[in-house]
Chain A
Amino acid sequence: MRPTVQEQLLGTCRILEKLVSPCVADPYARTILEGLIGNLRMLTSALPAVPSFLNSDNGATAELLKQLQSIVAPDLASSIALALGQPEPDATDMAALEQRNCELREIFSQALCNTDLTPELRSAALAHMTTRSARAPMRYVPTNSSPVKAI
């Protein structure tokens, strides 16, 4: 489908920068506009990566929950079994992937904070969380173009 989502986002950035931005004199509005354009550019590359990120993270979190299942409290173990028994969502259905991600991460959070983890499981959990944070596709785009401001 043309224009693609990326083409539309980039085109919107171009128009905002070339046509709209020069007409914005108010300093606050201008800063906000620059931030929004920067964020749209970030989304251009991040958006296509979100479904595969969620899909992969769901798989990794589920794998970790399997390992945690044997050492957590019985009611939490039941929650893990129930969650792991659910069918995986369609890999292209972003809303379903998001929902699944939230469900798994909620249980993971409980298991992580309410369990005396073995050193191996703690290392595995930390590695999982660190890898996830490094792979997260969406990033904050700073809005301050200059560190200096006169008051």
Chain B
Amino acid sequence: MGKDLKPSAALAAIQSDARLGGTASPVEQVVTGLKALIIDEIPSARDIAFLGVERAAGGLSRENWSLDASWVDETGAQARCLMLMRDAAGTLLATDRKREFAVLKALEATSVPAPKAYWVDYDGHRLGAPSLVMDRMPGTCDYLVLNGHRPLEARLNLGRAFIDLMARIHSIDWRDRALDAALKVPTGAPSRVELAHWEAEYRRVQLEPHPELDYVLAWMRRSAPQAEAIVLVHGDFKPGNALIVGEHISAKLDWETAHLGDPLEDLGWVTNPVRKREHQIAGVWEREQIVAAYCALTGLQVDEVALRWWNVFSCWKLAVIQLTAVSEFVAGRYDRVFQTPSWLYRPMFQMMENTA
């Protein structure tokens, strides 16, 4: 696919393109930048070629590029099916590729199915924006798989498999994997750490007063729970961030929000009543069954009041993410139109009243 570029030439091309007002297409930027990145990492690489370079339609927080790469290096001919995740100009989640790369590397020696991470462009000097290159895993992503076309027994098995996967993530020895160096160990209750982080995000993106969200925030501050354990939290645990092959989970994706925190954060995300269609199967795989399965798998006790707090937090965080989209859209950096998440207010108020 054209002549190989030396790293310096690739960088110069991107910088020159930026000076000219960005005339290179996104595909050209990806091709040029990725070639440079590969040469950085594998100096002996030559005859680098890419096929099927395409930006996937999904991905609300960053650009997801799919491509097949081949090259020849000192060990012979190479071929990889790759995904390149590149930070978009506008994003719902401001996350760090360095942390994500460290998490993916730590997961490689565990039983958690996740893509193998190859290379990372931390500051975007090759690809124009921070980027991460990883294996393209087999499977199909269906965020409503638990309520899709499969027979009930198969869907129930998948529901159990998701909670089993969550339990395996939470059981990873993060000290042994040196994740305490890459991810901050929370000082104090993880609920307060997460709340402080998301409150800062809220204030950063807020365009107008939201008494409803302020009211919930004040309640969360007053009632933030302590954690029973500190674990690796995925941070966006849902079927929409997983790949399925047949009846099995082939990969858990989207680790950019992973952090050390309270295990109830992930459990609160999946038992959040506003997202029942994604996480629950009416009558057979509801909050009670999910919590019981989680306790049996982990041996942890789940405090119902604390879990309810994390349910409220999940809704509130989701509201902040949607406000981020509103802010980014208004600033001209985001292509999708979101609205003030007023549909989340009533469920949050109800959960707060029930807890009281």
Residues facing A in B208-225 (CB within 8 A) are 208-212, 214-215, 217-218
Once the chains are docked, how many angstroms separate the CA of A76 from the CA of B18?
50
Cβ of B66: which chain A residues have Cβ within 8 Å of it? 151
Min C-beta distance of B302 to chain A, whole Å? 28
Inter-subunit contact A113/B215 (CB<8 Å) = yes
Residue in A35, A108, A109, A151 whose Cβ sees the most chain B Cβ within 10 Å:
A151
Q: Is A87 an interface residue (CB 8 A)?
A: no
Interface size classification for chain B: 35 or more
Whether B209 and A109, one on each chain, are in contact in the complex, defined by CB atoms closer than 8 angstroms, is yes
Interface pair B336/A32, CB less than 8 Å apart = yes
Smallest beta-carbon distance A101→chain B, Å: 8
Q: Is the CB of B211 within 8 A of A105?
A: yes
Q: Do A129 and B140 contact each other (CB < 8 Å), given the known contacts A26-B55, A32-B335, A35-B337? A: no
* A5 on interface, CB distance cutoff 8 Å: no
**Are the CB atoms of A27 and B346 closer together than 8 Å?**
no
- List chain B residues, Cβ under 8 A from A134: 342, 346
Inter-subunit contact B215/A30 (CB<8 Å): no
Query: Does B199 lie at the interface of the complex (its beta carbon under 8 Å from any beta carbon of A)?
Result: no
The distance from the CB of A12 to the nearest CB of chain B, in whole angstroms, is: 15
Contact with A along B120-133 (1 / 0, CB 8 A): 00000000000000
> CB distance A148 to B56 under 8 Å?
no
Given the known interface contacts A112-B211, A129-B345, A151-B66, the answer about A30 and B57 at a Cβ–Cβ threshold of 8 Å is yes
Interface bits B125-145 vs A (CB < 8 Å: 1, else 0): 000000000001101111111
Q: Cα distance A136–B208 when bound, in Å?
A: 15
Selected contact of A147 from candidates B55, B148, B322, CB within 8 Å: B148
B214 to chain A, nearest CB (A): 5
- By a CB distance below 8 angstroms, the chain A residues around B338 are 140
Query: Which residue in chain A gives the minimum CB-CB distance to B344?
Result: A133
Q: Which residues in window 192-240 of B have CB below 8 A to A?
A: 208-212, 214-215, 217-218, 240
Name the B residues within 8 Å of A112 (CB-CB): 211, 214-215, 218
Q: Which of A32, A130, A144, A151 contacts B346 (CB 8 A)?
A: A130
CB-CB contacts below 8 Å: B138-159 with A: 139-145, 148
* B52: Cβ under 8 A from any A Cβ: no
Q: Is the CB of B57 within 8 A of A31?
A: yes
Contact of A102 with B208 in the complex, beta carbons under 8 Å: yes
- Which residues of B have CB within 8 Å of A31? 57
Within 8 A of B (CB), among A41-98: none
CB pair B136 A151 closer than 8 Å: yes
- What are the residues of chain B within 8 A of A36 when measuring CB–CB? 337
A-B contact pairs, 19 of them (CB 8 A): A26-B55, A28-B56, A30-B57, A31-B57, A39-B337, A105-B208, A106-B209, A108-B211, A109-B209, A112-B218, A133-B212, A133-B343, A139-B339, A139-B343, A140-B338, A140-B339, A147-B144, A149-B57, A149-B142
